[in-house]
Amino acid sequence: MPETRTVVIAAFPGVELLEVTGPAEVFSVASRLVAGRCPAYRVVVAAAQAGPLPTAAGIELVAARSLAEVGPGVDTLLVAGAMESAGGSYQAVIAPEVVEWLATAAPAARRVGGVCAGVHLLAEAGLLAGLPATTHWLTADQLAAQHPDVAVDPEPIFIRAGRVWTCAGVTAAMDLALAMVAEDLGPAIALETARTMVMYVKRPGGQTQFSVPLSLQASADDRIDELRRWIDDHLAERISVEAMAARLNLSVRHFARVFRDCTGRTPGDYLEAVRVEAARRLLEESAHSLPAVAAASGLGSVETLHRAFRRRLGATPADYRRRFRPHATAR
């Protein structure tokens, strides 16, 4: 039986609640599932000051230790984060006291992870230079702009680069923690932990953060917003770029430029993305056959459905359904 692994979750006032409690619960459940005379994990929440710690949810946690009191012997160091809205966009909150502490504490830990916007704190401490990393798609552009030495990929739910792990939105923190449990205690314990918590069984890190409409740039052109609503209502039909341009009374070339300026995507890329998302929802929520899903989403054929899923999600439609609607049978 291995010795107890100490997991320190560094936090600060205003931190997102689930970014602390989500991973903590995964490690706690895994400990309870492992028989032995000592727990597999001991989780400690630390902040600049020990004591009550307000969170973004309005619920107080308790930091058992101050950052200065965290001694040697840390196995896993996770950094939780928070976002704030400014001028209609979201920015990661940077806690200078955590960044300063990370520069000296992180090298001593066996494993380091950034949770959602907490990834920005790792970058500020210089821990992501030259590495691939992900974070919540809302702040991925900020991370890339402020840290050009980091290979930012906004798609995966988590990325492992050696001893450094980064993950996306808050619930992805639990997927990251499950992957760590699998590394430490084996896949069987990780699987049982997921089942006990009634979680989807260990989502792979390469799964995308799925949210096509939400991840698009906000459109300043009402015509584009109206077109996007029309596309949503006519996905099963044949929609060409020429047809989209005609609805706006624009030439194809001018339309393509306007659409990309407003959404950050080409019309063809957007159309495939929303069709894949529609197919994804059908696979999760219905027992429709794959030909029916392909037809309803406008992808047309099962072959096209397969190609689009592999290109965008890194999985086949059948694999996706097994992960997210495990009791359904793909036909």
Can you give the residue ranges of every domain in the chain? 5-196, 212-324
C-alpha distances in Å from residue 121, one per residue of 20, 27, 66, 95, 291? 15, 22, 17, 7, 46
pLDDT for res 213: 45
pLDDT for res 277: 85
Q: How confident is the model at residue 301 (pLDDT cuts 50, 70, 90)?
A: very high
Task: Assign domain 5-196 to a CATH class.
Answer: alpha beta
C-alpha 152/C-alpha 147 separation (Å) is 9
C-alpha distances in Å from residue 57, one per residue of 13, 16, 60? 11, 7, 8
pLDDT for res 109: 97
Range with lowest mean pLDDT among 22-31, 68-77, 113-122, 270-279: 270-279
Q: What is the CB neighbour count within 10 angstroms for residue 71?
A: 11
pLDDT for res 130: 95
122-175 pLDDT tens trace? 999 999 999 999 999 899 999 999 999 999 988 888 889 999 999 998 788 998
pLDDT for res 141: 93
Please check whether residue 79 is in contact with residue 41, taking contact to mean a CB–CB distance below 8 angstroms.
Answer: no
pLDDT for res 314: 75
- 131-136 long-range contacts, Cβ below 8 Å, gap at least 24? 131/161, 131/162, 131/164, 132/159, 132/161, 133/159, 133/161, 133/164, 133/166, 134/158, 134/159, 134/166, 134/167, 134/168, 135/92, 135/166, 135/167, 135/168, 136/83, 136/168, 136/169, 136/209
| Mean pLDDT across 180-204 | 79
**pLDDT above 90 coverage of the chain, percent:** 63
68-79 pLDDT tens trace? 999 889 999 999
Greater pLDDT, 194 or 27: 27
| Mean pLDDT across 52-76 | 96
pLDDT for res 211: 43
C-alpha 190/C-alpha 184 separation (Å) is 9
| Mean pLDDT across 254-281 | 89
Please check whether residue 110 is in contact with residue 63, taking contact to mean a CB–CB distance below 8 angstroms.
Answer: no
CA 322 to chain centre: 20
Instruction: With 0.75 as the threshold, say if the pTM is over it.
Output: no
Q: How confident is the model at residue 250 (pLDDT cuts 50, 70, 90)?
A: very high
The radius of gyration of the chain's CA atoms, rounded to the nearest angstrom, is 22
CATH of domain 212-324: 1.10.10.60
Rounded to the nearest 10°, the torsion over CA 31, 188, 77, 1 is 50
Please check whether residue 158 is in contact with residue 167, taking contact to mean a CB–CB distance below 8 angstroms.
Answer: yes
Greater pLDDT, 208 or 276: 276
